[in-house]
Structure 1
Amino acid sequence: MQISRLGLPAPRQRRAFALTPLADIMFQLLIFFMLSSSLTPYSVLPLHSSGPVADRQPGPAQSAAAEQAPQASVPGGTALWNLEAGKLRVQGQDFPLEALPGLAHSLRDDNPEAAVVVIVKPSARVQDLTTVLEQLRTSGIASVQLSAGAG
């Protein structure tokens, strides 16, 4: 008796999914991001909040007062500085950012406990704000608050 074989194709062997290349890529990405994040120096700028704001919309009396004396200093040694694109407006006078060290030192010399409210206009760049905050910190002015300015 002769046994005949059927001509069925041999089952294909399934290849196992190799996780080694995937792990290699993950480690390469991890090293890349660790190195790239350490190459960019960032300064930590501590900001202190003055508390919650009850109403952000100025009323008619507040708008009229703001139009009459927008640059006046607040009592208690607080200076109001308007930050625009590449310049500061202090008490109605425009100063380039290069004059910032002199302004900060004279403010601190006049009042060691001086505080500054920086009103940031929409035209101001982030780099301008960073420059102002770092210069105030290096000048020894500890109390700095930020406010969003209109147009």
Structure 2
Amino acid sequence: MPAASRTTRIALPERRRRYRFSMTAMADMLFQLLIFFMLSANLTPFAMLDVRTGSLGGAGAGNGETPATSPAAVTDIRATAVWTLTPQGLTASGQRFGLDRVALLAEALAAQGTANVLVVLRPEVPVQDVITVLETLSARGIGSVQIADGTIR
């Protein structure tokens, strides 16, 4: 073989492959997680609930009147319903109901002229159940709702 036909191979330097990290996939994933958590979160604005606090003595308790002599503190027992809210549902007049029946109970209270509701909360009642009861009563025109802690000691 002639020397001219022989080719000498020159070794070219190898290029190192660079792997680049793309932030696009991570940003897409974060937006998907954000949308998921926004849709699965409880969106009830608790700040919009009209909650008033007061003492058990009634309106005249601060001005020297006793609860018995204060006209604002006297409530007709027939105009007050007592509901016990448990994690399993609602107890009213000795009967147990599911939370799906709260609207019917509130309509019955409004029809018979009951103006006040005392809701006794048992331990471990979810906040959403309390909100459901309060909103249902408010929608049926029952605005005087009192909440009491029903912890058995």
Q: Which residue of 2 aligns with 1:42?
A: 45
Identity of aligned residues (%): 34
How many Å separate the matches in 2 of 1:109 and 1:125?
28
How many Å separate the matches in 2 of 1:142 and 1:93?
23
Deviations 1:29-70 (CA, angstroms, capped at 9, x unpaired):
xxxxxxx8xxx45151112334157xxxxxxxxxxxxxxxxx
- Where 2:135 maps in the other structure, the secondary structure is helix
- Where 1:123 maps in the other structure, the secondary structure is coil
How many Å separate the matches in 1 of 2:115 and 2:139?
14
- Where 2:151 maps in the other structure, the secondary structure is coil
How many Å separate the matches in 1 of 2:116 and 2:53?
13
1:1-151 to structure 2, matched below 5 A, reads 40-43=43-46, 44-52=48-56, 75-111=77-113, 114-151=115-152
- Where 2:50 maps in the other structure, the secondary structure is coil
How many Å separate the matches in 1 of 2:89 and 2:123?
13
Change (3 A) 1:41 1:103: closer
How many Å separate the matches in 2 of 1:89 and 1:101?
14
* AA partner of residue 47 (structure 1): V
Deviations 1:73-113 (CA, angstroms, capped at 9, x unpaired):
x71401110000041000111000000000001101100x5
Scaled by the length of structure 1, what TM-score is found? 0.55
**Quick one: higher RCO (CA 8 Å, sep 6+), 1 or 2?**
1
**How many pairs does the alignment contain?**
94
How many Å separate the matches in 1 of 2:88 and 2:131?
12
Change (3 A) 1:50 1:79: farther
**Runs of 5+ consecutive residues of structure 1 not aligned to the other structure:** 1-35, 54-73
Larger radius of gyration: 2
How many Å separate the matches in 2 of 1:130 and 1:41?
9
Scaled by the length of structure 2, what TM-score is found? 0.54
- Residues 47 and 144, structure 1, Cα contact 8 Å, conserved in 2: no
Relative to structure 2, which stretch is displaced further, 122-131 or 43-52?
43-52
